[in-house]
Protein backbone atom coordinates (compact mmCIF):
# COMPACT_ATOMS: atom_id res chain seq x y z
CA UNK A 1 0.00 0.00 0.00
CA UNK A 2 2.83 2.36 0.91
CA UNK A 3 4.49 1.47 -2.41
CA UNK A 4 1.33 2.34 -4.33
CA UNK A 5 1.03 5.67 -2.54
CA UNK A 6 4.66 6.49 -3.29
CA UNK A 7 4.15 5.52 -6.93
CA UNK A 8 1.05 7.71 -7.22
CA UNK A 9 2.83 10.61 -5.56
CA UNK A 10 5.78 10.22 -7.91
CA UNK A 11 3.48 10.20 -10.92
CA UNK A 12 1.67 13.26 -9.60
CA UNK A 13 4.95 15.08 -9.08
CA UNK A 14 6.12 14.13 -12.59
CA UNK A 15 2.83 15.26 -14.14
CA UNK A 16 3.01 18.60 -12.29
CA UNK A 17 6.61 19.12 -13.40
CA UNK A 18 5.71 18.37 -17.01
CA UNK A 19 2.77 20.77 -16.90
CA UNK A 20 4.94 23.53 -15.45
CA UNK A 21 7.60 22.90 -18.06
CA UNK A 22 5.01 22.96 -20.86
CA UNK A 23 3.57 26.19 -19.48
CA UNK A 24 6.99 27.83 -19.37
CA UNK A 25 7.59 26.85 -23.01
CA UNK A 26 4.22 28.29 -24.01
CA UNK A 27 4.98 31.53 -22.19
CA UNK A 28 8.39 31.82 -23.83
CA UNK A 29 6.89 31.16 -27.27
CA UNK A 30 4.02 33.60 -26.81
CA UNK A 31 5.92 36.47 -25.19
CA UNK A 32 9.40 36.37 -26.74
CA UNK A 33 8.32 36.76 -30.40
CA UNK A 34 6.10 39.71 -29.47
CA UNK A 35 9.01 42.07 -28.87
CA UNK A 36 12.22 40.40 -30.05
CA UNK A 37 15.74 41.80 -29.72
CA UNK A 38 17.75 43.14 -32.64
CA UNK A 39 21.21 44.62 -33.17
CA UNK A 40 22.16 47.68 -35.19
CA UNK A 41 25.72 48.86 -35.64
CA UNK A 42 26.04 52.62 -35.13
CA UNK A 43 29.05 54.80 -34.39
CA UNK A 44 31.34 51.77 -34.30
CA UNK A 45 29.19 50.08 -31.62
CA UNK A 46 26.64 47.29 -31.60
CA UNK A 47 23.45 48.87 -30.31
CA UNK A 48 20.42 46.80 -29.33
CA UNK A 49 16.70 47.43 -29.54
CA UNK A 50 13.39 45.65 -29.20
CA UNK A 51 10.64 45.98 -31.78
CA UNK A 52 6.92 45.26 -31.56
CA UNK A 53 5.00 44.91 -34.82
CA UNK A 54 1.27 44.29 -34.25
CA UNK A 55 -0.35 41.54 -36.29
CA UNK A 56 -1.62 42.78 -39.63
CA UNK A 57 0.30 46.04 -39.45
CA UNK A 58 -0.27 47.86 -42.77
CA UNK A 59 2.39 49.33 -45.03
CA UNK A 60 3.52 52.84 -44.01
CA UNK A 61 2.33 52.38 -40.44
CA UNK A 62 3.45 54.97 -37.85
CA UNK A 63 6.45 54.31 -35.60
CA UNK A 64 6.75 55.27 -31.94
CA UNK A 65 10.20 55.16 -30.33
CA UNK A 66 10.20 54.70 -26.53
CA UNK A 67 13.30 55.68 -24.51
CA UNK A 68 13.98 54.39 -20.99
CA UNK A 69 15.26 56.44 -18.07
CA UNK A 70 18.74 56.77 -16.57
CA UNK A 71 20.07 53.40 -15.42
CA UNK A 72 17.00 51.71 -16.88
CA UNK A 73 16.41 49.21 -19.65
CA UNK A 74 14.18 48.73 -22.66
CA UNK A 75 11.76 46.27 -21.07
CA UNK A 76 8.42 46.88 -22.86
CA UNK A 77 6.43 45.89 -19.76
CA UNK A 78 7.62 49.07 -18.06
CA UNK A 79 5.75 51.25 -20.57
CA UNK A 80 2.74 49.12 -21.54
CA UNK A 81 2.82 50.57 -25.07
CA UNK A 82 2.44 47.28 -26.95
CA UNK A 83 -1.26 47.01 -26.11
CA UNK A 84 -1.79 50.60 -27.27
CA UNK A 85 0.03 49.80 -30.50
CA UNK A 86 -2.16 46.73 -31.06
CA UNK A 87 -5.32 48.80 -30.58
CA UNK A 88 -4.30 51.65 -32.86
CA UNK A 89 -1.99 50.03 -35.42
CA UNK A 90 1.53 51.39 -35.04
CA UNK A 91 4.99 49.89 -34.51
CA UNK A 92 6.87 50.41 -31.24
CA UNK A 93 10.65 50.38 -30.89
CA UNK A 94 12.48 50.23 -27.55
CA UNK A 95 16.19 51.08 -27.99
CA UNK A 96 18.71 50.32 -25.25
CA UNK A 97 20.97 53.12 -24.07
CA UNK A 98 24.75 52.66 -23.86
CA UNK A 99 26.58 52.68 -20.51
CA UNK A 100 28.30 55.79 -19.20
CA UNK A 101 31.39 56.07 -17.00
CA UNK A 102 29.31 55.11 -13.97
CA UNK A 103 28.27 51.88 -15.65
CA UNK A 104 24.68 53.13 -16.01
CA UNK A 105 22.72 52.71 -19.22
CA UNK A 106 21.59 56.11 -20.45
CA UNK A 107 21.14 58.58 -23.27
CA UNK A 108 23.92 61.10 -23.79
CA UNK A 109 22.11 64.39 -23.27
CA UNK A 110 24.97 66.48 -21.89
CA UNK A 111 24.73 65.92 -18.16
CA UNK A 112 27.92 67.26 -16.49
CA UNK A 113 29.08 63.74 -15.62
CA UNK A 114 28.67 62.70 -19.27
CA UNK A 115 31.36 65.14 -20.40
CA UNK A 116 33.71 62.30 -21.41
CA UNK A 117 30.97 60.21 -23.04
CA UNK A 118 31.52 60.02 -26.80
CA UNK A 119 28.36 58.11 -27.73
CA UNK A 120 26.24 60.06 -30.23
CA UNK A 121 22.70 58.99 -29.41
CA UNK A 122 21.09 61.49 -31.78
CA UNK A 123 22.97 59.79 -34.60
CA UNK A 124 22.07 56.32 -33.33
CA UNK A 125 18.36 57.08 -33.04
CA UNK A 126 18.33 58.74 -36.47
CA UNK A 127 20.01 55.71 -38.04
CA UNK A 128 17.68 53.38 -36.16
CA UNK A 129 14.55 55.13 -37.47
CA UNK A 130 15.85 55.07 -41.05
CA UNK A 131 16.74 51.40 -40.69
CA UNK A 132 13.28 50.47 -39.39
CA UNK A 133 11.55 52.48 -42.10
CA UNK A 134 13.49 50.69 -44.81
CA UNK A 135 13.39 47.18 -43.33
CA UNK A 136 9.75 47.13 -42.23
CA UNK A 137 8.12 49.56 -44.65
CA UNK A 138 7.19 52.01 -41.90
CA UNK A 139 6.06 55.57 -42.54
CA UNK A 140 8.63 58.13 -43.59
CA UNK A 141 6.57 60.91 -42.04
CA UNK A 142 4.76 59.53 -39.00
CA UNK A 143 7.62 58.97 -36.56
CA UNK A 144 7.17 59.87 -32.90
CA UNK A 145 9.32 59.67 -29.80
CA UNK A 146 8.50 59.45 -26.11
CA UNK A 147 10.76 58.81 -23.17
CA UNK A 148 10.91 58.66 -19.40
CA UNK A 149 13.19 61.01 -17.43
CA UNK A 150 16.60 60.80 -19.17
CA UNK A 151 14.69 59.52 -22.19
CA UNK A 152 12.49 62.60 -21.89
CA UNK A 153 15.55 64.84 -22.03
CA UNK A 154 16.52 63.08 -25.25
CA UNK A 155 13.04 63.84 -26.63
CA UNK A 156 13.71 67.56 -26.18
CA UNK A 157 17.09 67.18 -27.84
CA UNK A 158 15.69 65.26 -30.81
CA UNK A 159 12.96 67.87 -31.30
CA UNK A 160 15.62 70.59 -31.40
CA UNK A 161 18.24 68.74 -33.44
CA UNK A 162 16.15 66.45 -35.68
CA UNK A 163 12.94 68.47 -36.15
CA UNK A 164 12.24 67.07 -39.61
CA UNK A 165 12.61 63.44 -38.56
CA UNK A 166 10.12 63.36 -35.69
CA UNK A 167 6.52 64.46 -36.26
CA UNK A 168 6.03 65.00 -32.49
CA UNK A 169 7.72 64.15 -29.20
CA UNK A 170 6.41 63.46 -25.70
CA UNK A 171 8.81 63.64 -22.74
CA UNK A 172 7.46 62.09 -19.53
CA UNK A 173 9.06 63.39 -16.30
CA UNK A 174 11.65 64.88 -18.63
CA UNK A 175 13.38 68.26 -18.73
CA UNK A 176 14.84 70.79 -21.11
CA UNK A 177 18.44 71.28 -20.11
CA UNK A 178 19.74 74.83 -19.99
CA UNK A 179 22.52 74.17 -22.52
CA UNK A 180 19.99 72.92 -25.08
CA UNK A 181 17.69 75.89 -24.49
CA UNK A 182 20.56 78.30 -25.14
CA UNK A 183 21.91 76.36 -28.13
CA UNK A 184 18.59 75.76 -29.89
CA UNK A 185 18.46 77.51 -33.25
CA UNK A 186 15.85 75.35 -34.93
CA UNK A 187 12.83 77.11 -36.42
CA UNK A 188 10.91 74.02 -37.59
CA UNK A 189 7.76 73.43 -35.48
CA UNK A 190 7.66 70.15 -33.56
CA UNK A 191 4.57 69.36 -31.46
CA UNK A 192 5.51 68.47 -27.88
CA UNK A 193 3.60 66.84 -25.00
CA UNK A 194 5.06 66.84 -21.46
CA UNK A 195 3.59 64.73 -18.65
CA UNK A 196 5.00 65.74 -15.28
CA UNK A 197 4.27 65.52 -11.55
CA UNK A 198 4.50 68.68 -9.46
CA UNK A 199 6.17 66.78 -6.59
CA UNK A 200 8.83 65.16 -8.76
CA UNK A 201 12.01 65.31 -6.66
CA UNK A 202 14.29 63.93 -9.40
CA UNK A 203 13.19 66.18 -12.26
CA UNK A 204 11.97 69.17 -10.31
CA UNK A 205 8.84 70.92 -11.56
CA UNK A 206 10.41 74.31 -10.70
CA UNK A 207 13.70 73.50 -12.41
CA UNK A 208 17.27 73.57 -11.13
CA UNK A 209 19.05 76.66 -12.50
CA UNK A 210 22.03 76.18 -10.18
CA UNK A 211 22.52 72.44 -10.80
CA UNK A 212 21.97 71.45 -7.19
CA UNK A 213 20.84 68.00 -8.26
CA UNK A 214 23.91 67.22 -10.36
CA UNK A 215 22.03 66.68 -13.63
CA UNK A 216 23.04 70.06 -14.98
CA UNK A 217 21.03 73.28 -14.97
CA UNK A 218 17.55 72.90 -16.41
CA UNK A 219 14.43 74.98 -16.97
CA UNK A 220 11.26 74.87 -14.87
CA UNK A 221 8.77 72.55 -16.57
CA UNK A 222 6.13 75.25 -17.24
CA UNK A 223 8.78 77.56 -18.74
CA UNK A 224 10.10 74.82 -21.04
CA UNK A 225 6.58 74.03 -22.24
CA UNK A 226 5.78 77.71 -22.82
CA UNK A 227 9.05 78.05 -24.75
CA UNK A 228 7.94 75.24 -27.08
CA UNK A 229 4.46 76.74 -27.39
CA UNK A 230 6.04 80.03 -28.49
CA UNK A 231 8.49 78.21 -30.74
CA UNK A 232 5.55 76.48 -32.44
CA UNK A 233 3.75 79.83 -32.63
CA UNK A 234 0.70 78.53 -30.80
CA UNK A 235 -1.99 81.21 -30.45
CA UNK A 236 -4.65 79.57 -28.24
CA UNK A 237 -4.35 78.29 -24.66
CA UNK A 238 -6.91 76.05 -22.99
CA UNK A 239 -6.87 74.51 -19.51
CA UNK A 240 -9.04 71.54 -18.48
CA UNK A 241 -9.25 69.07 -15.61
CA UNK A 242 -9.03 65.43 -16.59
CA UNK A 243 -11.39 62.96 -14.90
CA UNK A 244 -9.65 61.00 -12.13
CA UNK A 245 -8.46 57.56 -13.18
CA UNK A 246 -9.64 56.14 -9.84
CA UNK A 247 -11.80 57.50 -6.99
CA UNK A 248 -9.71 59.81 -4.84
CA UNK A 249 -6.98 59.95 -7.48
CA UNK A 250 -4.67 62.88 -8.07
CA UNK A 251 -5.83 65.89 -10.05
CA UNK A 252 -4.45 66.14 -13.58
CA UNK A 253 -4.60 69.57 -15.22
CA UNK A 254 -4.34 69.57 -19.01
CA UNK A 255 -2.77 72.70 -20.48
CA UNK A 256 -3.16 72.73 -24.26
CA UNK A 257 -1.58 75.29 -26.59
CA UNK A 258 -3.04 75.09 -30.10
CA UNK A 259 -3.23 77.05 -33.36
CA UNK A 260 0.48 76.69 -34.05
CA UNK A 261 2.35 76.65 -37.36
CA UNK A 262 0.91 73.96 -39.62
CA UNK A 263 -1.57 72.96 -36.92
CA UNK A 264 1.16 72.32 -34.35
CA UNK A 265 0.17 71.94 -30.69
CA UNK A 266 1.98 71.77 -27.33
CA UNK A 267 0.42 69.99 -24.34
CA UNK A 268 1.32 69.78 -20.66
CA UNK A 269 -0.36 67.34 -18.27
CA UNK A 270 0.30 68.65 -14.79
CA UNK A 271 -0.14 65.83 -12.29
CA UNK A 272 -0.77 67.67 -9.03
CA UNK A 273 1.24 65.95 -6.30
CA UNK A 274 2.65 63.45 -8.78
CA UNK A 275 6.09 61.92 -8.26
CA UNK A 276 8.84 60.91 -10.69
CA UNK A 277 6.98 58.34 -12.76
CA UNK A 278 5.51 57.30 -16.10
CA UNK A 279 2.21 58.71 -14.81
CA UNK A 280 0.39 55.41 -15.16
CA UNK A 281 -1.22 55.67 -11.72
CA UNK A 282 -3.03 58.84 -12.73
CA UNK A 283 -3.69 58.49 -16.46
CA UNK A 284 -3.68 55.81 -19.14
CA UNK A 285 -0.31 57.03 -20.35
CA UNK A 286 -0.14 54.96 -23.54
CA UNK A 287 -3.58 56.06 -24.68
CA UNK A 288 -2.91 59.71 -23.86
CA UNK A 289 0.38 59.62 -25.75
CA UNK A 290 -1.26 58.17 -28.83
CA UNK A 291 -4.17 60.62 -28.54
CA UNK A 292 -1.56 63.37 -28.94
CA UNK A 293 0.61 61.69 -31.59
CA UNK A 294 -2.36 60.68 -33.75
CA UNK A 295 -3.27 64.35 -34.23
CA UNK A 296 -0.15 64.72 -36.36
CA UNK A 297 -0.38 61.60 -38.50
CA UNK A 298 -0.18 62.60 -42.17
Q: pLDDT band at residue 25, thresholds of 50, 70 and 90?
A: very low
Map residue 95 onto helix, strand or coil.
strand
**Alpha-carbon span 10 to 7, nearest angstrom:** 5
pTM for the whole structure: 0.88
Q: Which helix (H) or strand (E) holds 236?
A: strand 236-242
**Alpha-carbon span 297 to 59, nearest angstrom:** 14
Report, as an integer, the average pLDDT of 91-117.
Answer: 97
What b/e sequence results for 109-126 when a residue is b if at least 16 CB atoms lie within 10 Å of its CB, and e otherwise? bbbeebeebebebbebbb
Q: Which are the contacts of 20, defined by CB distance < 8 A and separation ≥ 6?
A: none
How, if at all, do strands 168-172 and 192-197 pair?
A: parallel
pLDDT at residue 2 in the model: 37
pLDDT at residue 13 in the model: 38
**Alpha-carbon span 257 to 240, nearest angstrom:** 12
Q: pLDDT band at residue 28, thresholds of 50, 70 and 90?
A: very low
Percent of the chain's residues with pLDDT above 90 = 87
pLDDT in tens, 71-81: 999 999 999 99
pLDDT at residue 77 in the model: 93
User: CB 231: neighbour CB atoms within 10 A?
Assistant: 22
Amino acid sequence: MRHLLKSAAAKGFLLTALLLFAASICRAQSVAPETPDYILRSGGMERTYKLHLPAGLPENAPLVVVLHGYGGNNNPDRFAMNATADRHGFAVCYPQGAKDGRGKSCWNVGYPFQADMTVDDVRFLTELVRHLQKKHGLSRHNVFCTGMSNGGEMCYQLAAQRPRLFAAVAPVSGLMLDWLYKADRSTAPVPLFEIHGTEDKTSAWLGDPQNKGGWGAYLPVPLAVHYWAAKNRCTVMQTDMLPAKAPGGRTVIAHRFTGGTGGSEVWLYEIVGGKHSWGEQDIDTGEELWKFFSRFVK
